[in-house]
Chain A
Amino acid sequence: MKVRFSVNGAVREVETAPDMPLLWILRDHLGLTGTKYGCGVAACGACTVHLDGAAVRSCQVTADALEGAEVVTIEGLGTPEAPHPVQAAWIAAQVAQCGYCQSGQIMQAAALLAENPAPSDAEIDAALAGNLCRCGTYPRIRAAVRRAAQAMREG
């Protein structure tokens, strides 16, 4: 099937099987490899993107649900030259070790802060509990979310 949807602000048209997950459309069709494959069953959160503003696991969204959708990936959130405040906080807190989960962590945190600019520690924990980090950078992830929240509030 042909599906038209927007990725990081640009309209894309992809010829794909209707049941192909968005994750693989992004990675293998569109070359947007910042979104990572970790489990394929929504158990790790590495493939988290924004779909119409909400954080979703892109391994669980199939092509036939994408017509007209607006997708934002880690590449669209910010760039090395102009990082999103959440990315800037992650860099300032020197969060990453292997870094493989961090795209998903950052997308999840950005969605949280867009909805809740001043989350409590418990709300941060609840929002990010589905994003696995095998290196164990959780203490710095928490610190970075708090740092980003403060920076965004102070604008």
Chain B
Amino acid sequence: MGTLRRLTRRSVLIGSLAVGGGVAFGSWAVSRPAENPLEEFAGADGAAFNPWVLVTPDEIRLITPHADFGQGAAQMQAMLIAEEMDLEPGQFSIDFGQPAKAYWNTALAEEGVPFMSTDESLPAEAMRALMGAAAKLMGLQITGGSTAVPDSFDKLRRAGAVARETLKRAAAARHGVHPDDLRTGAGAVILPDGARVPYTALAADAAKITPVTDVPLRPPAQWRLIGKPQPRLDMVAKCTGTQRYGIDVSLPGMIHAAVRMNPRKGGALKGFDPAPALAMPGVSDVIELPGGIAALATDTWTAMRAAEAVICEWGAAPYPPEQAGHWEVLAGSFTEDRLDRVWRDEGEVEAALADGAVISAEYRSPYVAHAPLEPLNATVLVTEEAVEVWTGHQIPRMLQRHVAAITGHGPEQVILHNQFIGGSFGHRLEFEFVRQAAMIAARKPGTPIKLTYSREEDFAQDFPRHIAMGRGRGVVREGRVEALDLAIAAPSVTASQMGRAGLAVPGPDAQIVAGAWNNPYDIPNFRVRGYRAPELAPVSSWRSVGAAGAGFFFDCFLDELIHAAGADPMAERIRLMRPGPARKVLEAVAQLSNWGESLSPGVGRGVAFVESFGVPVAEVVEVKDTPDGIRISRVWVAADVGRVVDPGNIENLIQGGVVFGLGHAMNAEITYSDGMAEQRNYHDHEAMRLNQCPEIFVRVLEGQGRVRGIGEPPVPPAAPALANAIFAATGKRIRELPLGRHVTFV
């Protein structure tokens, strides 16, 4: 056992991929093109140039396989294709497509490697390539980890370029001219005499040509769309109530369902009495599910009330019933036995700590709910031939397998109509709600079943952000930070999440320490260790995952050391930071915020820097200590994403990420009592309201070499910047989230 355990620890954890030493893939399997899922939709006269572009005599359809939960992924993907294909908005429709291996995500796997994002050494690059190959073989289609842009940036531009050049070949053959004499624009090939041949008119001819492959991408100077703010394709619909989400799906003969599962998550249903529900007008059935019940009715409201009316006897929770018990487990996890990995060890940490007055502190980060505004929902129709699913989901091919295992169909018989999603923050990476809808629908073949969660059920059954505890020790000397030693204990969110998906994950979990170990500081004596606590309440990825807690610990503790040294929080961070994009981000936010200017009495500013998902982000938060409480007045943000696809959208996402990070840091946590989440609706898990929102100023840099995504990285620095600002304004150092446990926000 001992040997196996060590081997396992040495292997590397990559999200759902676990790859130990000695795994090799045949080069043929990796280089072979994945099957094009559009071919079956092309018809006799349509050209499916690649998995993303379908042109028929009637229409141009672009497939945008990354799910859209508000971040604008559909828009971004369409614009990358349209850039090279010379399409204008209005000339094409977009479609999330069917789940397919061809839509494997390279970028997520590459990001999971245990190397710093700035590490371009041979081992780091080799590991990234290996991970990319594994993701391709598995056909891992997933939206997550802020990878939609990095995964799409070259791939979808190339898809557009291939379509364009193949259409030019078709036009050249038909009109007897050389392809080099043709141009394209606004959805048409332009002949030498200026005549325009619409792409749709060339579809049948183009379908007979093998798509060209060797197409160079246009240089940035020629871009029409990338780098310029574009009106979002979904904006008019979302401002007029005409955008359809999964919760708006309506099918003929549809029955509404609501579930009520054991609020002690994972606990058993010991018994139930459906009579009170069945006595309600409009209620047609109550069905037992593993660990809960479902009520079926004529409408959503009746189904929800019926589920609530069923008398249920619940079993115990498979985790400590009281919140204090969860913290006790973490407090007892800083042991050699539970050491998951030493992620960073530079200088002589033990010697430095032995040699000076040690400053130490303990930090906590709570469970936090996802609670996107659209509650979980899925509509499922089971027939003999197929299963149709209408829902919004981030891992479509895994969803197919989950549903197929329930209904007894093959995965390829599960047709997913992926929907626009009313927010996710990690919620739509989970499968329970889809599995429940499939179980109900399997009992009612031929009848569409629409399952809608009540908000209370959505809170009660959420797999929240994991809890974590950080213990820091440090030494300062002559006005400088000399040593920083941070130990973080947390359950493995990756193991919890992947365990529910049926996947085992050996190896250390980078999410325990993400946002702490990987910050590119050169602190002379610097160590970060992750300790793996046993599984507690089930947890899941929450926007920015581990970096939300670990980033808070790391940056606040660094801030403590800087203050103890008597140094300036901005200047000392810049001094300690390696030259490069991260340091430039700090310098940019210092300039943007005019750091160092004199402030009014009661006003304080805090700065924080956290790198996550390869994006260095620095934020300055300004607060005012008023008689009624803390008011967050202004925030300045600088981030480096390598390349901005849409400056308008990125500003919106960064501001939203700051609001998300600040709001939950202010007042949001999930706590357990009697095995149940104590927070049941938004009034007790509120986050930020509009009247509390500060002014947020954003600067985006394009200095780093890789193209990065921005969905998650603005979140982690917000909490520490706020805590640091409160310290600056009040002298109160708060070491746990939410900060509202210690101060009032107005």
Interface residues of A (CB under 8 A from B): 17, 20-21, 23-24, 27-29, 31-41, 43-44, 46, 73-75, 78-80, 83, 87, 90-91, 94-103, 106, 125-126, 128-142
Q: Is there contact, CB below 8 Å, between B455 and A97?
A: no
User: Whole-angstrom distance between the alpha carbons of A130 and B300 in the complex?
Assistant: 24
Contacting pair A28 B301 (CB below 8 A): yes
Please give, as numbers and ranges, the residues of chain B lying within 8 Å of A40 by CB-CB distance: 304, 454-456, 681
B522 at the interface (CB under 8 A from A): no
Q: Which of the residues B301, B371, B659, B663 comes within 8 Å of A24, measured between beta carbons? A: B301
- In the bound complex, CA of A121 to CA of B649 (Å): 24
Residues of chain B lying within 8 A (CB to CB) of residue A78: 240
For A99, list chain B residues within 8 Å (CB): 70, 234, 237-239, 243, 420, 422
In the assembly, what is the distance between CA of A50 and CA of B453, in Å? 26
Interface of A is mostly: loop
B247 interface residue per 8 A CB criterion? yes
**How far is A5 from B691 in the complex, measured between Cα atoms in Å?**
34
CB-based closest 7 A-B pairs: A34-B241, A136-B659, A98-B70, A99-B238, A100-B422, A74-B241, A136-B656
Q: Can you pick out 6 interface pairs between chain A and chain B where the beta carbons lie within 8 Å of each other?
A: A31-B250, A75-B241, A125-B690, A134-B372, A136-B659, A140-B655
Complex Cα–Cα for A91 and B282 (A): 40
Is the Cβ of A37 less than 8 Å from the Cβ of B300?
yes
CA distance A28 to B256 in the complex (A): 10
- Does B375 sit within 8 A of A, measured CB to CB? yes
- Chain B nearest CB: distance from A136 CB in Å? 3
Nearest CB on A from B84, distance (A): 24
A29, A38, A103, A137: the one within 8 Å of B656 (CB): A137
CB-CB < 8 A to B655: which residues of A?
A: 136-140
Residue in A41, A87, A129 whose CB lies within 8 Å of B691: A129
Q: Are A138 and B243 in contact (CB under 8 A)?
A: no
A-facing mask of B278-306, CB < 8 A → 1, else 0? 00011000000000000000011110100
Q: What residues of chain A lie closer than 8 Å to B372, measured between beta carbons?
A: 98, 100, 134
| Cα distance A142–B282 in the bound complex, in angstroms | 43
> Which chain A residues border B490 with CB–CB below 8 Å?
none
Contacts of A83 in B (CB 8 A): 236, 239-240
Residues 60-74 of B contacting A (Cβ, < 8 Å): 69-72
Give complex CA distance A31, B304 in Å.
18
B232–A94 touching, CB < 8 Å:
yes
Q: Contact at B693–A36, with CB atoms within 8 Å?
A: no
Chain B residues within CB distance 8 Å of chain A? 69-72, 229, 231-232, 234-245, 247-248, 250, 256, 281-282, 299-302, 304, 371-375, 420-423, 425, 452, 454-456, 648-649, 652-653, 655-660, 663, 681-683, 686-691, 693, 695-696
Could you say which of B423, B653, B658, B691 contacts A134, with CB atoms under 8 Å apart? B423
Give min CB distance, B153 to chain A, whole Å. Answer: 21
On whether A97 and B373 interact (CB within 8 A), knowing A40-B455, A87-B240, the answer reads no
B contact residues around A74 at 8 Å (CB): 240-241
For A35, A98, A126, the residue with the greatest tally of chain B CB atoms inside 10 Å of its CB is A98
Inter-subunit contact B242/A131 (CB<8 Å): no
Distance from A20 Cβ to chain B, minimum over Cβ atoms (Å) = 6
Whole-angstrom CA separation of A36 from B299 in the bound complex: 15
Q: Which of B71, B238, B687, B695 contacts A102 (CB 8 A)?
A: B238
Q: What's the least CB distance linking A109 to chain B, in Å?
A: 11
One of B238, B656, B681 near A41 (C-beta < 8 A): B681
Distance, CA A97 to CA B239, complexed state (A): 11
With A27-B300, A98-B423, A139-B696 known as contacts, the answer to whether A17 contacts B281 (CB < 8 A) is: yes
Separation of A14 and B229 alpha carbons in the complex (Å): 45
User: Which A residues lie within 8 Å of B652 (CB)?
Assistant: 94, 97, 137, 140
CA A31 – CA B299 in complex, angstroms? 12
* A40 CA / B375 CA spacing, docked (Å): 11
Q: Beyond A87-B240, A95-B239, A102-B238, is A128–B423 a contact (Cβ under 8 Å)?
A: no
**With the chains together, A129 CA to B656 CA distance in Å?**
16
> Contact: B657 with A106, CB < 8 Å?
no
A29 and B300 alpha carbons, distance in the complex (Å)? 10
Which chain B residue shows the least CB distance to A125?
B691
Determine whether the beta carbon of B300 is less than 8 Å from that of A134: no
What residues of A have a CB within 8 angstroms of the CB of B375 in the complex? 37-38
CA distance A38 to B688 in the complex (A): 16
Residues of chain A within 8 A of B693, CB atoms compared: 136, 138-139, 142
Give A141 to B282 CA distance when docked, in angstroms: 40
Question: What's the least CB distance linking B13 to chain A, in Å?
Answer: 30
Residue of A nearest to B237 (CB): A80
**A140 vs B243: C-alpha distance when bound (angstroms):** 19
